[in-house]
Amino acid sequence: MEHGIVNDWNDMELVWGYLYGKGQLQTDKEEHPVLLTEAPLNPTKNREKMAEIFFETFNVPALFVSMQAVLSLYSTGKLHTEEQLASFWIAATALLTQSRFSKVLQCRTALCVSTLLLRKEGFDFHKSSEFELVRQIKEKLCYLSTNPLRDENTEIEKIQYTLPDGSRIDLGQCRFRAAECLFRPDLIGEEAEGVHECLVYSIQKSDLELRKVLYQNIVLSGGSTLFQGFGDRLLNETKKLAPKDVKIRISAPQERRHSTWIGGSILASLDTFRKMWVSKKEYEDEGAKVINRKTF
């Protein structure tokens, strides 16, 4: 997978098959519907391929595919009904199709930058297990500076971090540089907008009557929002660009690294969710394209 988009379906099918294997989910795949999440801008052909695999290979009774951002809102209690979900999808579609999204805003960017900066300070990580360690360092120790120019030009007190093997590393300026690239992509040579600029640009491209609602319902989700000071920095930077009379409210759920999973569990437990599934019969009657008609 790359940025949440599947690019090797054989490997992906093996992973799903393993989950259904002995000693894993311990459930009969033919008796339980499946809810899958998808990344922003996931191609429709990928969604159709998901439907093909789950209905034809795993023979599931029903399937639903949801955008990760929608599920994050469910985890906060901001969506309660099918009508609200449909309204959100219309707004989100407008934002996704009109916004100048950049790869620099992918959460993996902060992870990659963290890895590169650690290498500059003499620490090298290559294995997938080591990348998980870098993720933990990123989320626990990195932060958004309130004055990045000052921190860049002054000696930052180093913090010692103990690795699983007992060895220790000292972390200095990389602690704020890794996070800073989300607001200043030029620091890593990217000609792109910062996360705050993309946010305001997207909202301003939405319908006029939706803008105030969107500004008051900004929800942080994902591991890279766990940077210390991320919410405050985003609020301050957004205020500089947004209309002066608009009220901005940012929600930062405590469990936001897992908000997509939490939201999915909430959505799947609703009685109204049954009307949203794509059933095996619908798939057999209409083909894989039916998944696009019922996806939010």
On the question of pLDDT at 93 being above 50, the answer is no
Domain ranges in the chain are 9-68+258-293, 89-102+192-256, 105-188
| Locus of tokens 């009685």 | 271
Written as one letter, the residue type at 147 is N
pLDDT digits (tens, 9 = 90+) for 185-222: 887 777 888 889 988 988 898 888 889 988 998 889 88
For the four alpha carbons of 55, 56, 58 and 59, in that order, the dihedral sign comes to positive
Q: For residue 45, name the pLDDT band (cuts at 50, 70, 90).
A: very high
Secondary element (H or E) of residue 218: strand 218-219
The secondary structure of residue 106, as a DSSP letter, is S
Which of 3.30.70.980, 3.40.1160.10, 3.30.420.40, 3.65.10.10 is the CATH number of 9-68+258-293? 3.30.420.40
The secondary structure of residue 259, as a DSSP letter, is H
Beta-strand relationship, 278-279 and 62-67: antiparallel
Which of 3.40.109.10, 3.90.1580.10, 3.20.20.70, 3.90.640.10 is the CATH number of 105-188? 3.90.640.10
* CA–CA gap between residue 57 and residue 47 (Å, rounded): 15
To 5 degrees, how large is the angle CA 42–CA 96–CA 194?
A: 110
Are 12 and 6 a contacting pair, CB within 8 Å?
Answer: yes
Predicted confidence at residue 52, as pLDDT, reads: 97
What's the predicted TM-score (pTM) here?
0.75
Backbone angles phi, psi at 201, to 5 degrees: -60, -45
